[in-house]
Amino acid sequence: MCPSKVSKNILTIEDLHVEVEGKEILHGVNLSVPKGEVHAVMGPNGSGKSTLANTLMGHPRYIITKGKIIFNDEEISKLLPDERSVRGLFLASQYPTEIPGVTLINFLRQMVNARLEEEMPLIEFRKMVNDQMDALGMEREFATRYVNTGFSGGEKKRSEILQMAVLRPGLAIMDETDSGLDIDALRIVSDGVNRLIGPDMGVLLITHYTRILEYIDPTVVNVMMDGKIVESGGPSLAHDLETHGYDLVREDKSS
């Protein structure tokens, strides 16, 4: 008997239709992200990019009416957000949530241990976190602050990259991580992501603009408009969009 075929894709989205409060936002998204690759999703406001990110993580407000989400050869459309996280999905959101009363270090420890059969020894855990904080240029006291409470925009994004570094997800979904960052913070965040990209982690990078793509090289650039992926190409596509705007794609589709 022949062995079952294992896909090289860490993520496969097939004909995904999604409603929010009875209104369909995604109208048949098809997208594949192979292991270890960076796939950018660009598009104007209202095109469905953040809806896609939230749907992938299982936000209950986003209702799948048709289609499949396959992660590591498993159909995950009906899994809860924590179940998807344990399997290796991670979302760095555009607006990270504040969690008053919960320190970042305790938050990280809970997330790490949720993925393990046995708790990681505290000394080993603290060393891992400290090493990652040093690599991100973060002060150690940062870990004792409440999650995102009183953080600047750049601190919130660095906090999420720290979470990513500690968790080592199979796929990191980055929803407009560059939003609100100055150039120094953007470089720090991008350097952190680049350190993590490798054969064991893919990235779905959602953005309006090309500036983060100057620091994180995408394998493929996908353009989303009106709830669908309408164009895909190499990194040069992002530069064309920077020069000509999304009218470039609109005109191409209308001709």
What's the predicted TM-score (pTM) here? 0.88
- 96 versus 49: the higher-pLDDT residue is 49
Give the SS3 label for residue 27.
strand
Q: What is the pLDDT of residue 211?
A: 85
Q: What is the pLDDT of residue 158?
A: 85
Angle at which helix 122-135 crosses helix 104-114, to 10 degrees, equals: 120
Instruction: With beta carbons less than 8 A apart as the criterion, state whether 241 and 41 touch.
Output: no
Residue spans of alpha helices (H) in the chain? 49-56, 81-87, 104-114, 122-135, 153-167, 183-196, 235-244, 247-254
Domains of the chain from N-terminus onward: 9-102+148-254 (3.40.50.300)
Q: From the CA atom positions of the chain, what is the Rg in Å?
A: 18
Range from 59-68, 182-191, 209-218 that averages highest in pLDDT = 59-68
